[in-house]
Amino acid sequence: MASTVSAASGPALEIRNVSKHFGVVKALSGVDFTLERGEIHALCGENGAGKSTLMNIIAGVLQPSEGEIRVDGTVVRIASPATAQKLGIGLVHQEIALCPDVTVAENMFMAATSLRKAPLMNYRELNRRAQDIMHRLAPIPVDAKVSTLSISNQQLVEIAKALTLDCRVLIFDEPTAALTEAEAKVLFGIIRDLRAQGISIIYISHRMAEIFSLCDRVTVFRDGRYVSTDRIKDVDADYVVRRMVGREITQLYPPKLAGAPGDVILSVCDLGDGARFSKISFEVRKGEILGIGGLIGAGRTEIAEGICGLRPVTTGGVLLHGVPQKIGSYADAVKSGIVYLSEDRKGSGVFLDLSIAKNISALDLKRLTTAFGLLNARAEADLARDFTRKLGVRMGGIDYPVSSLSGGNQQKVAIAKQLSVNPKVILMDEPTRGIDVGAKSEIHRLLRELAETGIGIVVISSELPELLGLCDRVAVIREGHIAGELTGEDMSEENVMRLASGVTMETADNERRASAHV
Amino acid sequence: MSEKDKGETKMAVDTMAGGGERVSSWRRLGSMREAGLIAIILALCVIMTFASPHFLTLGNFRAMLMSFSVEGIVVVGMTVLLIVGGIDLAVGSVVCFAMVFAGSLFLLGLDPWSASLLGILASAAIGAIMGFFVTVVGLNHFITSLAAMVIVRGLCLIITKGTPLSLFTMPPEFKAVGQGTFYGVPYVILIFIAVVVVFDFLLRRATAFRKVFYTGSNEKAAQYSGIKTKQVKFWVTVMCSTLSGVAGVIYMSRFGAATPTFGVGMELNIIAAAVIGGASLNGGSGTILGAILGIALLSVVASSLILLDVSVYWQDMIKGCILLAAVSIDHFLHKRKA
């Protein structure tokens, strides 16, 4: 129970001089980390800095090569996730690890069930306790199968799962990556409640705004080493970012388009699929980046899929440079010059086990095919070398599997795949989700350069700062319709949220406050 | 971050048939499954040479090669099917079906060549029906082929009314396919080598077969790359059955008979060989060479057990243990921290 936190003084968790090697690779070199009782402690660092490795050590998934861990002042060996649970350490995974075919309640109590001694399940009790926890988070029915939930709701179940354990230390590894702003705000309320109950929280995130509104202290790692720990109120976002990258990032977003955009590249007219979206019309002009905003589940991804033939449409159509396109399948779209970058990088963006070269060539094998239907291996390798260099993919070589790359570089490979077919329009769904600050700004710069070369760029993003910082114009989707378009001065977080939720911000705030404290 | 580390430790173990990738280091070659299998087979041969005077003879090697040549053709099809993420439990039944179907047509008066061709086409049709249930109806390969295995075996019994067909009246030119030699090398072995070389080359170099890897590695990502994954799966299923049909008519020529119970349990041997050779049941990886070495290993072991006078009752058990050992070793070598 949260209320049984012992009254002993001193930190809840201490990491002393912990190192972790994987073969010759050093993921962590002698790092220190101290988590005080009842604080929210942010852990920052680029991908590859060692945050996840340390969290996996604390949660018993990995064993440290050297160093010691103290819980409540006692040196402990956390041999397995079960040991971690017994010590009161819970981890909310960055990646969803749920059983899709059982109910929300059963998933929530998966860990708790394994600790219980009783031989039989009491489903009535299970559902009641699940409901108690879930109603604070979101209106998700606890008897629904997880496979029927959206990604963001699954993420919320993952969070609810951790709340079922009697944790004294709770680790959140990028919990908001798949959440909308509104859902994230509810989550923050809950995290603050947990802190008030004396629970110590480690919060990992790439989003500075979250860290500064939520956390008490911030520790930065870089390249597997400890860099610094500061009180949030003593520092600013610039400082933290500088510590993370070890260099100045002078400008977070590339400069926007100066002057008026050029000719229309893509026009979408009255597109509808008879279910998820209808009457979608917009244009993308040369040189501009069009943003598409809205809540998760509003139909943004579905619209993009409709445009590029991944989802059948019933009304409307797509024009490129004023010429109507016949798009019946994704292959048709690629042929016309419209490509789509999926929001689910690992699920449908890349082939993790295949080489970088094979990933980049996958979108159009025909151009690499010689007589007799054989692949031209040299052309494939040249293509891969060319695009990995252009995009600055940091890798061992083009024949390394994509799984050997960091998230940011995997994403660059996914983008390279799209660019390699010389597209006219790229639809990008959450292009920087789960990517570290450095790679993120590289991708933003790249998108701006592509727009300047005359490729039509459409960016779907749930991250408002990205949407507003990167795009020249934003179309906001609500329940399958375009609720409005914002340009210039009107582009503000408040206006996007207003259009996305269909209510004024004040009421939305009140509702959220109400639902967070039922 | 752990993700990166996983890759670093994994980088040397890419056993995929690497189309255009110039393998950059000997270390990678050393870690390849094929090299390991060759080493094990050679070691076994050396031991057996000392253990039995009959092992290192031309006759024994020819017998061993003959024994897995025809099955080897089926292994090729199965490997490609495993790479696309499928499996076919019906191969044994389809081999038998091609045999009894062609045999019956011959007995009805058709010439053996046309009968064989129709036998192979009928096998392809069975593959097409399975492919239909997998891609259009949406059943999985395991269940579909399990049903097909039983149905097709039933067909064999219906066609033959349960008794073996005697085909000794087949003309000698046709019998030569299964029984004759070319400069001392049996035609069967030549056909087998031709199939292996062609498919190994295609799997590494042909665009159509590259789509098989994409589909098996991540079907969704393949769809998002404009690949028609259902078509790919359909044709690979058809191909696997067709190769089974080819094996069936070769057996018919070789035995001069068609038995309705032939090939029972063959599918397990075939799948075991492909898996020992590095094909993953999760799809996305596998090589023809590896699979052929897999079936060669099983064959050398079987031959050794006979020469060492090990009771026939022990042989299946030992084969099973080899499969378990091979897959376990592989699991530890290629361990993925998922």
| pLDDT the model gives residue B14 | 36
For B207, the closest of A56, A352, A373 (CB atoms) is A373
**B21/A contact by beta carbon, under 8 A:** yes
| pLDDT the model gives residue B15 | 34
For A354, the closest of B5, B9, B213 (CB atoms) is B213
Residue A75 backbone phi and psi in degrees, to 5: -70, 130
Residue A201 has pLDDT above 90, yes or no: yes
Retrieve residue A101's tokens: 């075919």
| pLDDT the model gives residue B10 | 36
Which chain B residue shows the shortest CA-CA distance from A222? B1
* pLDDT digits 0-9 by tens, A69-121: 999 888 999 988 888 888 889 888 777 778 888 888 888 887 666 656 666 77
| pLDDT the model gives residue A114 | 62
**Mean pLDDT of the A279-284 span:** 92
In chain A, residues with a C-beta closer than 8 Å to the C-beta of B335 are none
Give the whole-angstrom CA distance, residue B242 versus residue A222: 57
Q: How confident is the model at residue B5 (pLDDT cuts 50, 70, 90)?
A: very low
Residue B274 has pLDDT above 70, yes or no: yes
- Contact present, A76 and A85 (Cβ < 8 Å): no
* pLDDT digits 0-9 by tens, A405-461: 888 889 999 999 999 999 999 999 999 887 777 788 888 989 999 999 989 999 998
* pLDDT digits 0-9 by tens, B152-164: 999 999 999 999 9
Mean pLDDT value across chain A: 84
In chain A, residues with a C-beta closer than 8 Å to the C-beta of B23 are 399
**Mean pLDDT of the B89-100 span:** 96
CB contact under 8 A, B218 and A348: yes
* pLDDT digits 0-9 by tens, A225-255: 899 999 999 998 878 877 877 655 445 788 8
Q: How confident is the model at residue B335 (pLDDT cuts 50, 70, 90)?
A: low
Mutation for testing the B interface, residue in A375, A380, A417 having most B CBs under 10 Å = A375
Taking each helix axis from N to C end, the angle separating A377-391 and A407-419, rounded to the nearest 10 degrees, works out to: 120
**Mean pLDDT of the B121-148 span:** 96
CB contact under 8 A, B227 and A397: no
**Mean pLDDT of the A327-338 span:** 91
Chain A nearest C-alpha distance from B202 (Å): 8
Domains of chain A: 13-245 (3.40.50.300), 257-337+423-517 (3.40.50.300), 350-420 (no CATH)
Give the whole-angstrom CA distance, residue A316 versus residue A331: 19
If one compares A181 and B43, the residue with the highest pLDDT of the two is B43
In chain A, residues with a C-beta closer than 8 Å to the C-beta of B5 are 22, 25, 27, 53
Residue B260 backbone phi and psi in degrees, to 5: -70, -10
DSSP secondary structure code for residue B110 in this structure: -
Residue A400 has pLDDT above 80, yes or no: yes
Q: Is B147 exposed, middle or buried (0-12, 13-18, 19+ CB in 10 A)?
A: middle
Mutation for testing the A interface, residue in B212, B224, B228 having most A CBs under 10 Å = B224
| pLDDT the model gives residue A356 | 93
**Mean pLDDT of the B217-237 span:** 93
Give the whole-angstrom CA distance, residue B273 versus residue A88: 47
* Residue B257, SS3 per DSSP: strand
**Mean pLDDT of the B78-84 span:** 96
CB contact under 8 A, A353 and B6: no
**B11/A contact by beta carbon, under 8 A:** yes
CB contact under 8 A, B226 and A364: yes
Give the whole-angstrom CA distance, residue B71 versus residue B195: 12
Residue B190 has pLDDT above 90, yes or no: yes
CB contact under 8 A, A404 and B8: yes
Which chain A residue shows the shortest CA-CA distance from B23? A399
Give the whole-angstrom CA distance, residue B266 versus residue B74: 10
The answer to whether the Cα torsion of A95, A101, A103, A109 is positive or negative is negative
Question: Which candidate, B265, B269, B330, B321, places its Cα nearest to that of B294?
Answer: B269
How is the beta sheet containing A40-44 ordered, strand by strand?
Answer: A89-92, A169-173, A200-204, A40-44, A217-222, A225-231
DSSP secondary structure code for residue A256 in this structure: P
Total beta-carbon pairs less than 8 A apart between chain A and chain B: 160
Give the whole-angstrom CA distance, residue B66 versus residue B132: 34
* pLDDT digits 0-9 by tens, A462-518: 877 888 889 999 999 988 889 899 988 888 877 887 787 765 444 444 444 444 443
If one compares A110 and A2, the residue with the highest pLDDT of the two is A110
| pLDDT the model gives residue A478 | 85
* Residue B138, SS3 per DSSP: coil
A148 alpha-carbon distance from chain centroid: 20
| pLDDT the model gives residue A297 | 74
Q: How confident is the model at residue A5 (pLDDT cuts 50, 70, 90)?
A: very low
| pLDDT the model gives residue A427 | 94
Give Cβ neighbours of residue B164 (< 8 Å, ≥ 6 apart).
B257, B258, B259, B260
Give the whole-angstrom CA distance, residue B8 versus residue B11: 5
Residue B69 has pLDDT above 80, yes or no: yes
- Per mean pLDDT, which range of A159-163, A243-247, A354-358, A403-407 is the poorest? A243-247
* pLDDT digits 0-9 by tens, B163-172: 999 998 999 9
CB contact under 8 A, B9 and A396: no
Q: How confident is the model at residue A23 (pLDDT cuts 50, 70, 90)?
A: low
Give the whole-angstrom CA distance, residue A103 versus residue A182: 25
Q: How confident is the model at residue B209 (pLDDT cuts 50, 70, 90)?
A: very high
| pLDDT the model gives residue B27 | 43
* Residue B39, SS3 per DSSP: helix
**Mean pLDDT of the A336-356 span:** 89
Residue A422, by phi and psi: left (phi above 0), alpha (psi -120 to 50) or beta?
A: left
Which chain A residue shows the shortest CA-CA distance from B217? A351
Give the whole-angstrom CA distance, residue A327 versus residue A306: 9
**Radius of gyration from C-alpha coordinates of chain A:** 24
* pLDDT digits 0-9 by tens, B17-49: 333 334 444 445 445 778 888 888 899 899 998
* Residue B171, SS3 per DSSP: coil
The answer to whether the Cα torsion of B282, A22, B4, A157 is positive or negative is positive
Give the whole-angstrom CA distance, residue A15 versus residue A71: 9
Strands (E), A133-216: 169-173, 200-204
| pLDDT the model gives residue B258 | 93
Chain B nearest C-alpha distance from A21 (Å): 9
In chain B, residues with a C-beta closer than 8 Å to the C-beta of A349 are 221, 224
> Which one of A52-61, A145-154, B25-34, B232-241 scores highest in mean pLDDT?
B232-241
CB contact under 8 A, A403 and B5: no
Chain A nearest C-alpha distance from B212 (Å): 11
